[in-house]
Amino acid sequence: MLNFVIRRLLTLPLIMLAVTFLIVLVMQLIPPEQRAVAFTTNLQQLGRVQEIIKTNHLDGSVFEQYWLWLGQALGGNLGFSRTSGETVVATLLSRFPATLELTLFTLVPLVWVGVWLGGQAAVHRNRLPDAVIRIIAVLGYSIPSFVLGVWLLVIFYGALDWLPGTGNISNDSAVLLMTGSVRHVTGLVTIDALLSGRLDVLWDGLKHLILPAFTLLVVGIPALIKGTRASMIDALHSDYIRTARAKGITERTVIHKHARRNALLPVATLISLSVSGLLQGAVLAETLYGYPGVGAWAAQAAAAGDLPGVLGFALMAATIVAVINLLTDLAYTVIDPRVRYA
Amino acid sequence: MSAVTPNSAQRASRPASRSVLARTFRRNLPARVGAVLIGLYVLVALLAPVLAPPQGNCRRALTLSETQVVPGPAAYLRELLAPPAECLQMPRQGFAAQPKPPETGTPLGSVGGYDIRYGLVWGTRTAFFLGIAVVAITVTVGGFIGLAAGFFGGWLDNILMRLTDITFAFPGLILVLVLVAALGPGLQNIIIALSLVSWAGLARVLRSEVLRLRELDYVAAAHGLGSQRWRIALRHVLPNALGPVFSIVVLEMGSLPIVAGALSFLGLGTPLGFADWGQLIALAQKWIQGPPGEPFAYWYVTLFPGLCIALYSLGWNLLGDALGEQLDPRNR
């Protein structure tokens, strides 16, 4: 067991090495003159492009460049982003809390509702509830988040004016944050508001989260429904369920105690996939709702050809995915007694 | 001697695949709805020059006379399969950004001066072109790699599967974003980026199927008959491993226009004015709020392109789901 944990922990740096090498490889697609821009911090330095290419060996081999890039990246230098006017690391740090908040507020209802719907579909397999739930799943797969988002904005922002259309906070609350009436503790608006006891700011933050979170929920839920349904159907067909029924245990107990506990094991994997899906979804949802997270910035950076910015975001996403996958693998050794890695 | 085996293998596989399709559509309403939807979109794509007749620059590029509506069959085919660049550009009715409601000439309204009907009809052609191009590349590359990894195993398998690991290390859309940012926007680069991302999933699925098949008796029999390894891989194993790939390909046809649309929506897709669904939604984004008192004044700008892309994807998803259900051994 400990052996497995150690071996699994050692794979993380290997994956990151491969991922970062791919990133440097992708950078070779653009000419050294453009790549040199990542090393400048103001417009005046653009005149020294040739010098920058020389000193940073931007015209050298991929391996040479990778070695230099790795040294800088380990020192916390991922270059300068034209779109944000800051270094990539500073931008990621300042914008990440908003994305984290959106992801957390989506992930909890996503998993809860998705697992519940998937379980219901399996229990009522091939009957009306199953049909309805599967239609929900297919519709969720089919509607693009940017279409759903635009429609939601037309109705709840444009027509009804119930919910705000842009940002993660209204101007009034932003002033409170800036003047220190709401203390900056975590960077997550709702949590900071709660810690400072400002319920009005909390409500304001929540109102800004509803539409983007709902959009991400609809787009993300089909995978959870399908996954839970399949694993629940498998569980309900297993021998120990037949045994439990034969013993005369009520159907309710059979489903909730015996089947569901085992069916939920693969859900750990589904959750880690959902996090990866939410990171992708954040690029679109944050752009659509003008939400100040890393996703919206990455989209701007990509559209402006600001490669250090996009690659910094991709590196962040890959790191999160790698860590979540690692945690999932480790979680299985705890939640499933049958999994014993030698 | 070895000529006998492939024939019998083909004979055995044909009735089976036919029955999968027959079983998929029998008493399966969603599958039929999906097939009808896709059929309609195919019709729209084929009838594009009739449903949204070429105008302005496109007419000039096709050298159509003033009164000609539909050219001769040869010219029609050219218009459909290899249209001049001008025809894939939505004609401008004017230069006012303000959307104009449906009227004669622009039955679905216009936004930013672009005729929405023209964008949707010719965008259908773009969606099929993009889907078929990416799927063709993905199936060829992913299939070849999956087959080689699964059939030959060993170090080759190890190297190829580590390559898929690296691809899977990024959330798909984010890797597409990086590649398009590096390659630059445009339809061709989108196709390259989407293919570079989606080959890995297909390779994995095919590999696991090949791993199962290569241990079966009929492969050992072919080997015993003296067939060469590549021949066994291509003629005996590959045709039987393609089943699960089939439903993945159908589902991918539905999801590709969504990803491509997302790129257009982010300003990374096709050039401005190109007949493409995502482009129209990006234009619609600015017209979410109507003028005071008329909240739904610009409904046509968001409704038609959104419905168009969602129904296309729905059609493929219904088909793919039904196929997947039929091919799933647990449902036999």
> How far is A85 from chain B, CA to nearest CA, in Å?
18
| Interatomic CA distance for residues B177 and B181, integer angstroms | 6
Q: What are phi and psi of B226, to 5 degrees?
A: 95, 15
pLDDT > 90 in chain A, percent: 25
On average, the pLDDT of chain A sits at 84
Give the pLDDT of residue B3: 45
Higher pLDDT, A258 or B15: A258
List pLDDT tens digits, range A76-96: 888 888 888 888 899 999 999
How large is the average pLDDT for residues A120-149?
A: 90
Higher pLDDT, A74 or B132: B132
pLDDT > 70 in chain B, percent: 89
Q: Is the minimum CB–CB distance between A323 and chain B shorter than 8 Å?
A: no
List pLDDT tens digits, range A107-117: 999 999 999 99
Higher pLDDT, A218 or A39: A218
B8 pLDDT above the threshold of 50: no
Lowest mean pLDDT among A234-238, A293-297, B8-12: B8-12
B191 pLDDT above the threshold of 70: yes
Higher pLDDT, A60 or A146: A146
CB distance B306–A147 less than 8 Å?
yes
B86-101: b or e for each residue (b if 16 or more CB lie within 10 Å)? bbbbbbbbeeeeebbe
DSSP string for B20-68: HHHHHHTT-HHHHHHHHHHHHHHHHHHTHHHHS---HHHHHHTT--SS-
- Which pLDDT band, with edges at 50, 70 and 90, does B10 fall under? very low
- A313 and A298 Cβ atoms separated by less than 8 Å: yes
B180 interaction partners in chain A (CB closer than 8 Å): 302
On average, the pLDDT of chain B sits at 81
Specify the amino acid at residue B108. L
Q: What are phi and psi of B300, to 5 degrees?
A: -65, -25
Give the pLDDT of residue B39: 93
A266 pLDDT above the threshold of 50: yes
Burial class for A261, CB neighbours closer than 10 Å (0-12, 13-18, 19+): exposed
CB distance A18–B255 less than 8 Å?
no
How large is the average pLDDT for residues B47-72?
A: 71
| Interatomic CA distance for residues A138 and A146, integer angstroms | 17
Give the pLDDT of residue B12: 47
Q: What are phi and psi of A298, to 5 degrees?
A: -60, -40
| Interatomic CA distance for residues B305 and B212, integer angstroms | 44
Note every long-range contact of A27-35, with CB atoms under 8 Å and residues 24 or more positions apart, other chains counting.
A27/A65, A27/A307, A27/A311, A27/B182, A28/A62, A28/A65, A29/B182, A29/B183, A30/A307, A30/B182, A32/A58, A32/A59, A34/A305, A34/A307, A35/A307
Give the pLDDT of residue B69: 62
Name which of A27, A147, A314 is nearest B174 (Cβ-Cβ). A314
A27 interaction partners in chain B (CB closer than 8 Å): 182
In the numeric block, the tokens 């399908």 are attached to A226
Specify the amino acid at residue A158. G
| Interatomic CA distance for residues A254 and B246, integer angstroms | 37
Q: Among A118, A116, A115, which Cα is nearest to A130's?
A: A118
> CA distances (Å), B148 to each of B66, B181, B215, B247, B308, in order?
57, 32, 15, 21, 39
Name which of A142, A276, A303 is nearest B313 (Cβ-Cβ). A142
CB distance B285–A277 less than 8 Å?
no
Which of B265, B304, B316, B328 is the best mutation test for A, with the most CBs of A within 10 A? B265
List pLDDT tens digits, range A98-108: 999 999 999 99
In the numeric block, the tokens 């009838």 are attached to B47
CB distance B306–A141 less than 8 Å?
no
B290 pLDDT above the threshold of 80: no
B332 pLDDT above the threshold of 60: no
Lowest mean pLDDT among A54-68, A142-156, A272-286: A54-68
CB distance B30–A138 less than 8 Å?
yes
Angle at B33 between CA B28 and CA B39, to 5 degrees: 125
A19 pLDDT above the threshold of 90: no
Record the tokens describing residue A119, joined without a space: 């379980």
> How far is B306 from chain A, CA to nearest CA, in Å?
5
Which of B170, B175, B281 is the best mutation test for A, with the most CBs of A within 10 A? B170
Give the pLDDT of residue B71: 63
Lowest mean pLDDT among A47-56, B59-68, B159-168: B59-68
Higher pLDDT, A254 or A32: A254
CB distance A322–B169 less than 8 Å?
yes
| β-sheet bridge partners, residue B111 | B114
Name which of A19, A160, A302 is nearest B166 (Cβ-Cβ). A19
Which of B248, B288, B294 is the best mutation test for A, with the most CBs of A within 10 A? B288
Burial class for B32, CB neighbours closer than 10 Å (0-12, 13-18, 19+): middle
A29 interaction partners in chain B (CB closer than 8 Å): 182-183
**E strand map for B46-158:** 110-111, 114-115
> How do beta strands B114-115 and A86-87 pair?
unpaired
- DSSP code for A153: I
> How far is A257 from chain B, CA to nearest CA, in Å?
24
- Which pLDDT band, with edges at 50, 70 and 90, does B6 fall under? very low
A219-251: b or e for each residue (b if 16 or more CB lie within 10 Å)? bbbbbbbbbbbbbbbebbeeeebeebeeeeeee
A306 interaction partners in chain B (CB closer than 8 Å): 181
How large is the average pLDDT for residues A118-137?
A: 90
B314 interaction partners in chain A (CB closer than 8 Å): 138-139, 142
Q: Among A101, A310, A48, which Cα is nearest to A209's?
A: A101
Q: Which chain B residue has its CA at the smallest distance from A299's CA? A: B266
Lowest mean pLDDT among A133-147, A171-185, A276-290: A171-185
> How far is A195 from chain B, CA to nearest CA, in Å?
34
CB distance B177–A299 less than 8 Å?
yes
Compute and round to an integer the Cα radius of gyration of chain B: 23
Element (H or E) spanning A81, and its range?
strand A80-81
> CA distances (Å), A306 to each of B60, B177, B185, B312, in order?
39, 11, 13, 33
CB distance A145–B262 less than 8 Å?
yes
Query: Residues 195-254, chain A: which have Cβ within 8 Å of B?
Result: 233-234
Record the tokens describing residue B151, joined without a space: 């059939």
- Which pLDDT band, with edges at 50, 70 and 90, does A191 fall under? confident
Q: Among B291, B193, B188, B206, which Cα is nearest to B243's?
A: B206
How large is the average pLDDT for residues B227-238?
A: 85
A33 pLDDT above the threshold of 80: no
In the numeric block, the tokens 């060469």 are attached to B228
- A57 and A39 Cβ atoms separated by less than 8 Å: no
In the numeric block, the tokens 């003159």 are attached to A33
DSSP string for B234-292: IIIIHHHHHHHHHHHHHHHHHHHHHHHHHHHHTT-SSPTTBS-HHHHHHHHGGGSS-ST
Record the tokens describing residue A258, joined without a space: 């015996």
| β-sheet bridge partners, residue B103 | B106
Name which of A30, A146, A307 is nearest B261 (Cβ-Cβ). A146
Give the pLDDT of residue B330: 60
A317 interaction partners in chain B (CB closer than 8 Å): 170-171, 174
What 3-state DSSP class applies to B186?
Answer: coil
Query: Residues 62-121, chain A: which have Cβ within 8 Å of B?
Result: none
In the numeric block, the tokens 């931007």 are attached to A58
Name which of B179, B281, B309 is nearest A26 (Cβ-Cβ). B179
B299 pLDDT above the threshold of 60: yes
**E strand map for B142-263:** none
> How far is B189 from chain A, CA to nearest CA, in Å?
12
Give the pLDDT of residue A101: 92
| Interatomic CA distance for residues B300 and B298, integer angstroms | 6
Record the tokens describing residue B257, joined without a space: 């226009």
DSSP string for A258-299: IIHHHHTTTHHHHHHHHHHHHHHHHHHHHHHTT--SHHHHHH
